[in-house]
Amino acid sequence: MTTFLFDGPETAPLTILLAHGAGAPMDSASMAATAKALAAAGFRVARFEFHYMAARRYGHRKPPPRAETVNPEYIKAIADLRAKGVKGPLIIGGKSMGGRVASMIADETFAEGKIAGLLCLGYPFHPPAKPTQLRTKHLAGLKTPTLICQGTRDEFGTPDEVATYDLSDRIEMLWLEDGDHDLKPRKSISGFSTADHLRTVADAVKAWTERIVR
């Protein structure tokens, strides 16, 4: 059974399932702050870890695997979340690699009626400094309603780069001024704090879900 961390009210009408990025666990400061911001907006948020990350808690240091190899783990997490009694509409997604993995199983699970949408926080459109190694092929025909929240300073995909990609019209972009890959801005430059950006994300997710979930 998948282990989850929960935030937000059990009575929330909608649940968001989030996976972590490649290098940090589900209880990292960034993941925790994001979950709390979404919970404050009225969502039930569940976080989980892929096996390689969970193994690190027991001293087994494993490198991140190829993203597609953990697709079955994400599908199992959805089933395990339902087995725990979580009902109602479900949004899947995650931070960086977690969001990428969710995007690869989104259409399959959406077509089966298991999810209502996809939320990606800092999507890794390409590795840093390798703008031609795109991870976008499957995004061109994506049918699942999708919201990608991206910092304008994200080295995995900037506004100018993303504007040139062939992306499905089901994908909406939320750009966060001066945010890095963790959506963190430089307050002295942008005037925004990370907390400001996370509130913006939570408000945007709330408005987006109200449009896509009937």
* Distance (Å, whole) CA 135 – CA 137: 6
**Model confidence band, residue 118 (pLDDT cutoffs 50, 70, 90):** very high
pTM over 0.85: yes
The sign one gets for the Cα dihedral 107, 198, 203, 174 is negative
Query: Pairing state of beta strands 5-7 and 44-48?
Result: antiparallel
Question: Cβ contacts of residue 79 below 8 Å, gap of 6+?
Answer: none
* Distance (Å, whole) CA 51 – CA 60: 11
**3-state SS assignment for residue 157:** coil
pLDDT for res 62: 81
Given a cut of 90, is residue 187 above it in pLDDT?
A: yes
133: left (phi over 0), alpha (psi -120 to 50) or beta: beta
